[in-house]
Chains A and B, each alone.
Chain A
Amino acid sequence: MPKPDLLESPETDLLHELDRPWQVVVHNDPVNLMSYVTMVFRRVFGWTAEKAEQHMMEVHVKGRSVVWSGGKEKAEHYVQQLHGFLLLATMEKVP
């Protein structure tokens, strides 16, 4: 019979893994115009021009920006929307 502490650890990890939210990341692409990326952010997320520009600049300068985090289904929805506008977007588990 395994010790309880040996069992607890994997179960906790599994629950933690299942609970971990997803995040949507937009990656830099030099072809996409800055104004276009800003417009897409405003359309997809309903952001103000200021917030959309901040994220656009983060993509441009740092190469990526986390634009949303939450449930898997909604993350898939956002990635699909961003791909529909041809932005380079991926989803990953929040570290």
Chain B
Amino acid sequence: MTFEFAKDGGGRFHGIHPVLEAILRAAAADPWERCPEGSARLLPPPGDHGELIEDWEDHVRPELREGFSMARSVVEEDLGAMTQEKKGEWSLTIPSDHTDAWLTTLNAVRLALASEHDLTEADMAADEEKADFSTPKGMALLQVNLFGFMQECLIRSMED
């Protein structure tokens, strides 16, 4: 799986193996449904002042959640437009104006997965060859790393 920068920002992931394609499509799953335990991390309180928290719950949280939902719709749209290349591999194009939605959605899924599976900094820095992808934690690590790679590519596409 490689990334090709587009001249106007954004870019295209191509050579996506069918296994990674299936994992990638899961990025659009609602983290609140997919990882109910981990999703608490996505909308943390703004501090410990009671009045502040109350106001936040009533007004800000719904707005933030709506924003995440809209970003997820954009990701879903791009995933739906994925094309199959020769050799059964897939290609995914991310237009420059969809980059923010992708970054947010990938981050939300990574945070929810890490929280749900108690992934530590050491887990994420460990040699991937030693990871056991047959376990739920190993699979979560694979997803977190794959989505992290995609985030790095998209951030670089914005800088160039």
Is A33 within 8 A of B152, CB to CB?
yes
Is A35 within 8 A of B46, CB to CB?
no
B111 within 8 A of A: yes
State the majority secondary structure of interface residues on B.
helix
Chain A residues whose CB sits within 8 angstroms of the CB of B42 once the complex forms: 86
Give the shortest distance, in Å, between A40 (CB) and chain B (any CB).
9
Q: Report if A86-B111 is in contact (Cβ < 8 Å); known contacts: A33-B151, A91-B52.
A: yes
Is A33 within 8 A of B46, CB to CB?
no
Is B104 within 8 A of A86, CB to CB?
yes
- Which of A29, A80, A88, A92 is B64 in contact with, Cβ under 8 Å? A80
Interface string of B99-123 (1 = CB under 8 A from A): 0000110011011001000011100
The chain B residue sitting closest to A79, CB to CB, is B46
A45 within 8 A of B: no
- Which of A35, A89, A90 is B152 in contact with, Cβ under 8 Å? A35
Is A32 within 8 A of B67, CB to CB?
no
Is B120 within 8 A of A89, CB to CB?
no
State the majority secondary structure of interface residues on A.
mixed
B window 44-95: CB within 8 A of A? 44-48, 52, 60, 63-64, 67
Chain B residues whose CB sits within 8 angstroms of the CB of A86 once the complex forms: 42, 104, 107-108, 111
Is B107 within 8 A of A80, CB to CB?
no
Give the shortest distance, in Å, between B137 (CB) and chain A (any CB).
14
Give the shortest distance, in Å, between B20 (CB) and chain A (any CB).
19
A30 within 8 A of B: yes
Is A83 within 8 A of B44, CB to CB?
yes
A31 within 8 A of B: yes
Is A31 within 8 A of B110, CB to CB?
yes
Is A80 within 8 A of B152, CB to CB?
no
Chain B residues whose CB sits within 8 angstroms of the CB of A89 once the complex forms: 46
Chain A residues whose CB sits within 8 angstroms of the CB of B52 once the complex forms: 76, 91
How far, in whole Å, are A28 and B155 apart by their CA atoms in the complex? Answer: 20
Is A39 within 8 A of B158, CB to CB?
yes
- If A31-B144, A80-B60, A80-B63 are given as contacts, then 20 extra A-B residue pairs at C-beta distance below 8 Å, sorted by A number, are A31-B111, A31-B114, A31-B124, A32-B111, A33-B151, A35-B152, A35-B156, A36-B151, A76-B46, A76-B60, A79-B47, A80-B46, A83-B46, A84-B104, A85-B103, A85-B104, A86-B104, A88-B44, A90-B47, A92-B47
